[in-house]
């Protein structure tokens, strides 16, 4: 029997596994092999995006695992995201259908607006857009995303990289509530205020870069390499990465660690059979520096750039 992650109930009543596989910077065959292996290990939550350019490979891996009888479609919680180039309201449905076609699926479990900032559309293959930013109001984009739920193309919809004020603006003007805000979150950037805000408004925080994009040569970040981290790992008989991911789970955040290494994909997932004691849990707070690893600085002059606000 494969051990699965527990699930959390979203504000619309749907269930989401509290741990997922991230696929940002998992290119083509990496994304395919990672997704296949993750499903074999017990992951049931897979996170991709139009701009990752790996939806087809992720979808192929899921299709094969369904065919092999490892999972059914209903077992897999699949998230993808609307790219900045598709914020224009006339492009939203087409963009979602394009992602579904890439994935080979009839619906996604969760469709996120990747950023509140839109980019100029030239064509679909200009995936990352350019830094030609547009003034499309994310509320107009959101209203089109709501229609995707009506059409059955997305079971749930949500936000990514939105600050608290932007989230409140969506909540005040929406017909269908966002269930999630996916943001950078790890012991070095703990998002305390945004987490509290999300909880108050019934949103789940999903964490990308939950290990802060480690740089072993630099022994960075400290929460994976310093003495305290090593001592905790030793105490629990775990790796420092497992301690970090367990910490996020206990914070009530849904971590989405990315790896294309088979052993690490398995290791990351083994965080449900132990718990950090209160003093060890508390000790992780010391690692918070408030420093992002993904600041999207090219967008910093835009009126909808989310990171000028404190949270």
Residues with active-site annotation: 52
288 in a labelled binding site: no
Residue 90 makes CB contacts below 8 A (sequence gap 6+) with none
Q: Concatenated DSSP letters for 221-285?
A: SHHHHSHHHHHHHHHHTS-HHHHHHHHHHHHT-EE--B---HHHHHHHH--SS----HHHHHHGG
Token pair of 250 as six digits: 């206990």
Rounded CA-CA distance 75/60 in Å is 16
HSE-up of residue 146 (Cα within 13 Å, Cβ side): 14
Nearest CA-CA partner of 222 in 311, 291, 295, 307? 291
Nearest CA-CA partner of 81 in 95, 61, 67, 70? 95
Q: Strand 180-184 relative to strand 45-47: parallel, antiparallel, unpaired?
A: unpaired
Token pair of 199 as six digits: 């909880």
Output the known binding site for substrate: 114
Output the known binding site: 114
């Amino acid at each position: 029997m494969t051990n699965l992650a527990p699930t959390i109930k979203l504000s619309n009543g749907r269930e989401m596994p509290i741990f997922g596989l991230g696929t940002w910077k998992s290119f083509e065959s990496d994304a395919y092999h990672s997704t296949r292996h993750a499903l074999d290990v017990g992951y049931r939550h897979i996170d991709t995006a139009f701009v990752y350019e790996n939806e087809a490979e992720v979808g192929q891996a899921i299709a094969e695992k369904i065919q092999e009888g490892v999972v059914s479609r209903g077992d897999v919680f699949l998230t993808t995201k609307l790219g900045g180039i598709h914020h224009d309201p006339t492009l939203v449905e087409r963009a979602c259908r394009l992602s579904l076609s890439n994935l080979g699926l009839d619906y996604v479990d969760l469709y996120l607006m990747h950023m509140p900032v839109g980019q100029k559309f030239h064509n679909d293959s200009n995936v990352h857009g350019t830094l030609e930013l547009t003034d499309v109001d994310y509320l107009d984009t959101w209203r089109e995303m709501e229609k995707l739920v009506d059409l059955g193309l997305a079971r749930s919809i949500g936000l990514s990289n939105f600050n608290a004020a932007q989230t409140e603006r969506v909540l005040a003007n929406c017909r269908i509530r966002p269930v999630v805000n996916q943001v950078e979150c790890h012991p070095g950037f703990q998002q305390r205020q945004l987490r509290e805000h999300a909880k108050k408004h019934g949103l789940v925080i999903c964490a990308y870069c939950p290990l802060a994009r480690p740089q072993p040569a630099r022994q960075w970040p400290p929460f994976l390499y310093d003495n305290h981290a090593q001592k905790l790992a030793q105490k629990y008989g775990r790796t420092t990465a497992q301690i970090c991911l367990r910490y996020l789970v206990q914070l009530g955040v849904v971590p989405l660690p990315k790896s294309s290494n088979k052993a690490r994909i398995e290791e990351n997932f083994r965080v449900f059979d132990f718990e950090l004691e209160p003093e060890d849990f508390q000790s992780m707070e010391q690692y918070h520096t408030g420093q992002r690893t993904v600041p999207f600085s090219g967008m910093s002059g835009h009126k909808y750039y989310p990171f000028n606000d404190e949270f």
